[in-house]
Each structure stands twice: as structure tokens, then as C-alpha cells.
Amino acid sequence: MENASKIAIIGLGSQAKAWALNLRDSGLNVTIALREGSSSFAIADQLNLKALPIGEWLRDIPTIIVLTPDHEQKNIIEKNIAFFSNGTHFIFAHGWSYIRNFKDQYPQFNMAMLAPKAIASEVRFQYETKGKLGGAYSLEGCKDKDSSLNLVLHIAKAIGITAGPYESTFAEETKADLFSEQTILCSMLPYGALHSYKTLRKNGVSQEMAFMECWLEVKLIANALISLGPVEFFKLISPNALFGSTKASKVLFDKEYQAKLDSLFHDIDTGVFYEECEKANQQQLREEVLNLWQNEELQEVFERLKDELIP
């Protein structure tokens, strides 16, 4: 496939590393594009990946995959636009930048989305183990839909996507991704587990028991939910767990909880969240969150017990 004959990936974060290794191991010609002097050149060398400073060589690259953090992508495209040829296919792994910065701009380029639905380590693991991986795509910003679809499907297969990829839109993928992160994946799971752990500790339960019940078993339950589905899961759990989960669901997931979910979605849907996120000091926020967790007893117990309990 001509458009896949040469591929550049801008960035070398977690997702970029997984994509680059999978594409390379699938036999595609991949070059990492980095800013001059980037510390990631050493990482590329360790991974045996070809890397070059962003520059004129990109004019000869028909497909460029942008895998830097979302908030950096606008500046990267604008700053280096002279290095991109008309007709270049840009592929994003998330819809954020397109709907915020690129929709109806840069008509000289084709802009597509290919979003594997897994964290970076899982993208690599499923590829190496020939496992299963789902994904979504959109061709909204592409002129020749047929050739763009062939390109996206070719790359999807090369990075290990086995289910779909399912057609979506930049906006739909972004809303779903952000909402799931905010309401369950990166909030309810870690912070809910923390609150449960601290409640047990406050009531005299040992560190070890509280850790195993409220943190370690999250993975076991999640694995059962995913592999069995909800019906078989609720057939499987004990009578005590069934009664307790029903009682707790009525206590916790009330009308007020639903109103909070609706409020979070409203902020995403209306653009409020994007503005808040773009104004935030991301480095400071990450430091604050890491400091919070580093000072939690749960983190200390995790460090002490992980070698004994976690494969």
C-alpha cells in the first residue's frame, strides 16, 4: 500500500512506543519524529527504532501518526506545517485535537482517527500474544474515503487491532473516552477503592485485609465481569455478595448520583471540560495527584505487599 510505504510517528510516549514497535514488527517502515534535542532519542535507540528531528524529510512521508499529548498537537502541526506535503494523511489516536483545533482547517491534509481501546502496555501485550484488541476509526477529515479507509484498516491490523475497528466520529470517541475516564476508569476505580480501604482501616481492619479486599480484588472482579458478562457474573457471586451489591447500589447510585453523571457529561458535551482542561497547569496537577497518592497508606501497603501478592 503506497500510503503505508513510509510512516512517521510524532512523539515517543507510551502509546507511540507501542504503536511503533507493533508497526515495525509487522514489517512497516516507521520513523520516529522528535523535536531537536529530545531525550526520547535515547529511548528510540534502546528500542532499535529509527528517529530523526522533525524537519524537511517529513515532506516525503505520506502518513504521519500524531501520538503526542492532546494539548501539544495543535502547536506541533502549526509550528511545523512547512514540513508537511499536501495530501498527507494525519492519523490521531483520539478525537480531541480534531474537534478542538483541526476541524475545517488544513483542507490540504487528510485527517483520520484510529483509536485502539486499550492502554499502551495492553496494545503491545495483545500484539505480542496474538490476543484481542478493539478499536474505533473516523474518516471525517479525509477527502478520498476509500483509499483512506484502506490505509486506516491496514495500520489497524498492523498495530494489532482484531475487533473492528468500528466506525465512529471524532466527537463521539472523544465524549465516550472522556466520560468513561471521569466516571469509572480513572476516578471511581482508584478513588472508590481508596475510600473503601480507608473506611475499613478506620474501623479496625488490618492493612493486609483492607488492601486485598479493596484494591487487589478489583482486578479479579473486573476480569470476571469482562470474561463472563453481567448476567453470568451475577449468577456466579455468593448470596451475600448479591444481596450486598443490591443494597449498596440503591444507597450509592441514587438520583443525586445520576445528576452528577449528567453534569459531568454536560460539561464534556458543551465544551466546558475542554476549556477547563486546556487552562489547567498539567504538570502541577500531576505533581499534586502523585503527592496525594504517595502520602496515602494504601500506597505504602502496595509497595510492601506487591511482590507477595501481584504476579
What residues are labeled active site?
94
All cell numbers assigned to 146: 476509500
For CA atoms 234, 180, 163, 120, the dihedral sign is negative
Residue 50: closest CA among 40, 60, 59: 40
- Compute the distance between CA of residue 172 and CA of residue 187 in angstroms, rounded to an integer: 21
Q: Is the peptide bond before 311 cis (omega within 30 degrees of 0)?
A: no
- Alpha-carbon Rg for the chain, nearest whole angstrom, is 22
Residue 175: closest CA among 224, 138, 126: 138
Cβ neighbors of 175 (< 8 A, separation 6 or more) are 265, 268, 269
Q: Are strands 63-66 and 51-53 parallel, antiparallel or unpaired?
A: unpaired
